[in-house]
Every structure is written in structure tokens, then in C-alpha cells.
Structure 1
Amino acid sequence: MRPPTRAPENRTDRRRAKTRQALIDAARTLIADGRAATASIADITATADVGFGTFYNHFDDKKSLFDAAIDQILEALGDHLDTVADRTADPADAFATSFRHAGRLAIAHRQTAEIIDSYGFVLMESPTGLGPRAHRDLSAAVDAERLQIDNVDLATAITGGHLLALVHAWLADPTSVTEADVDASVETLLRSFGMSAAAARRLAHRTLEPLG
């Protein structure tokens, strides 16, 4: 787990942190709306409701802002998923549970879903978020002889493809994807990674404890 972020110590620091977060929130909105590529600094500061001149007090350019916005989303997702591995000694269970939680989080928050859909496999390749955790758990499951995978990198990418497909379909029609579909998807993944049908079904559909 990451150490807790230290709260700003005085009024100036708190105001600066609030402005920085407003800019990041604006970036997240623009990414979700599909306007990140065309947005100007003026568009960003207007969306954030902060002065134009304050932008460069926090970020060097648009790319550094949007990178910070993506990192924040992935870190939040990663922090949620980090609690899963601590609850089970079975890496296959950790993989399945993490995927189920990630899918639920994605289809419960439209902004997050829009960003995942927009950035696709770039997010899976990030050092934070679902990608490295899926790779970690899959590798551990292979070592524990819980799964049979020849290429863990490819299996991680396939996992990302399943999540992206769920998100894309949900954005097109929120009634078309449910939590049951997320569970069915991870059941398919487990079976394709060498787990028996009965074992995969048990892991994919067992009672899911809340995160946190």
C-alpha cells in the first residue's frame, strides 16, 4: 500500500492543492468527453474555473496535466485492488477478485469508464492500475500451479481486452452489461488459463466482499 498523502500544512498550501486538483478534475472531464486532444490551456482553466495564469504554477504543459489525471485514476484503482491480495493466499483468487472489482468500478463510474475506453491498452501498460497487478497475480498463479499459462504478458493483455470490451459495451448501452457479465468474463478467462470449469465457476461467482 502507498503511504498516505500528507495534508497541506497551511492555508497557502491548501489553496494550491485545491487549485491543482481542480485542474486535474478538469482534465479528467475533458478526457471523458473526448476533448483532451483539442482542448487549449484556456479551455482547461475555464473548465476548472481557475485563472489562466495559474496553470503554469502547477504543470509544465498539457501533457503533464493529462498524465497526472490518468495517474490519479489508476492509482485510485490500484489502491482499491491492493487490498484484494492481502485477503487470500490463492493468487488465482486474487486475480479473479481483482478483475471482478475492477469491472464493477468501471461500469459504476461513467467518467472512469470513458477514460478507460479512450486510452485502452495504454492504461494496461501503465505501471499503476490493473495491468501490473493482473501480471503479478497471473505469474504467482502459474508458480503455484493454479493456472497454466505459457505467456503471462499475452494473458495480461487478454485480461485487459476483456475489461475494455465490457467497458465499451456498457458505454454504448448501460443496460447491456451487468455485474453478472463481469463475473462471466473472468470465468471465461480462468478457464482459458487452464482452470477446470467447476473451479473457475466457483471463483468467478463466490460472494464478493466489499473493498476497503
Structure 2
Amino acid sequence: MSAPGSPPPARQDRRKERTRAALIAAAQHLLAEGADAHASIQAITELADVGFGSFYNYFSSKEELFEAAASAAVDDYLRWLAERLPDGVDPVTRLIENVRQTGRLALEQPRIAAILTRRLALLDDGDDPRGRSIRADVRAAMTAGGAVPETLEFDILATVALGAIMAVLRRTISLSPAETAEAADVLAHAVLRLLSLPSAGSAR
């Protein structure tokens, strides 16, 4: 039972969620600006508009906060991407759409794109379920294109394909909207040629 005059538990939970979300948003702003290295906890809490003492109720250090903020950006990216990838398509089409849509991330979600360009290793972490999911899409497309799994060449090409997706992010972050859309399409078809994959829709 709540103490007299204290907020109901549900209200307390919502307030805690808002405070944590505000800290994450502030950290993401700093990450996107490349200002995380020198940001103090005081500066973070001021940007989040929360009390300094509240910080340690959620995170033990600013490093832990920035890791959580970067991880949340990856989740947001994958959620955004999933909403745009067609269902029931062949693996090659899925991979190419993955590249094309990623190239447009900077247009629709510039903060997430900026964070990912600085934390690209998060997309290629084979020990993380999200990294394994991205690799699974690449491997499925390559298998559909006739590559032989579990060979050194296969593993190298999978890494190259992931590098191409990351290159899309780096290349488009500083382009105009028209240039971004064009670059995303060009890079998507370049991945096909790089991996010797058939045109989307014609995988065997």
C-alpha cells in the first residue's frame, strides 16, 4: 500500500520511464553531435531537464548511459527498417531493400543515422541478437545467389556486404536529399555486383 500523499505505483513507474527516456534522448543528442566524449553528467542532466541526483537512479556512469543510448538507436533503426521491408520477398530483394532503405535513414531519422555512423560496430556484433539478424539477411541473400555457406570466401563476402550497408550510412549522412536517394539506389545495385548476386526477384 502506498504511503499517504505518495503517487500511486503506476504513476511512479510512468515518471521513472519518462526520466530514463529523457536521459536516453539527451545522450542520443550528444552522440549524434559527437559530443559524448567530453559531456559531463551535469551537462547531460541539464539537457534532459532532470535533477542531477536522478541520474544514478538509472545509470552507474555516463559510459553506461551512452551504451544504452547507442543500443536504443540500433533498436530504433531495426524497427524503422522492418516497417519498410516488404514481407514474403526473396532474400536478394530483402537485402537490396535493406541497403536502399538504410540509405534513406539520414533523411527520415537523422539522429539515428548520425549515431550509427559513430557506432557502426553495433551493427556487426555477432554476439548480439540484432547483429546476428543483420548477418542472417546477408547470408540468406548470398545463399540464394549460389554462394557456398561455411567457406572462407562466404564469410569474407558477408563481411563485405555488411561493410557496404555501413558505407551507405557514412556516404549519405552528408548528402542532399536528392543525392541521398540516388546514392542509396546506386549502392544497392553495387552490392549486387560486389557479391555476384542476381537481380532482385530472380534469385534461384
CA RMSD of aligned residues (A): 2.6
1:188 is matched with which residue? 190
2:18 is matched with which residue? 18
Q: Which amino acid aligns with 1:189?
A: V
SS at match of 1:31: helix
2:147 is matched with which residue? 148
1:118 correspondence with 2:118: yes
Unaligned runs of 5+ in 1: 1-8, 204-212
Distance (Å, rounded) in 2 between the aligned partners of 1:158 and 1:152 = 10
CA-CA distance at 1:18 after TM superposition: 0.1
CA-CA distance at 1:124 after TM superposition: 2.3
Aligned 1:190-209 pairs, distance under 5 A? 190-196=192-198, 199=199
Q: Which amino acid aligns with 1:70?
A: A
Q: Which amino acid aligns with 2:193?
A: R
Q: Which amino acid aligns with 2:176?
A: P
CA-CA distance at 1:61 after TM superposition: 1.0
Q: Which amino acid aligns with 2:78?
A: G
Bigger Rg, structure 1 or 2: 2
2:100 is matched with which residue? 100
Q: Which amino acid aligns with 2:136?
A: R
Instruction: Indicate how the Cα distance of structure 1 residues 13 and 115 shifts in structure 2: closer, same or farther if over 3 A, else same.
Output: same
Distance (Å, rounded) in 2 between the aligned partners of 1:177 and 1:156 = 27
User: TM-score with structure 1 length normalisation?
Assistant: 0.76
Distance (Å, rounded) in 2 between the aligned partners of 1:128 and 1:27 = 23
Unaligned runs of 5+ in 2: 1-8
Q: Which amino acid aligns with 1:159?
A: A
Distance (Å, rounded) in 2 between the aligned partners of 1:21 and 1:51 = 14
Distance (Å, rounded) in 2 between the aligned partners of 1:96 and 1:24 = 31
SS at match of 2:50: coil
SS at match of 2:39: coil
**Aligned residue pairs, count:** 189
Out of 33-42 and 97-106, give the one that drifted further.
Answer: 97-106
CA-CA distance at 1:141 after TM superposition: 2.7
Instruction: Indicate how the Cα distance of structure 1 residues 57 and 153 shifts in structure 2: closer, same or farther if over 3 A, else same.
Output: farther
Distance (Å, rounded) in 1 between the aligned partners of 2:114 and 2:85 = 27
Distance (Å, rounded) in 2 between the aligned partners of 1:175 and 1:143 = 34
CA-CA distance at 1:187 after TM superposition: 0.7
Distance (Å, rounded) in 2 between the aligned partners of 1:165 and 1:31 = 19
Asked if structure 2 preserves the Cα contact closer than 8 Å seen for 1:85 and 1:91, the reply is no
Asked if structure 2 preserves the Cα contact closer than 8 Å seen for 1:32 and 1:111, the reply is yes
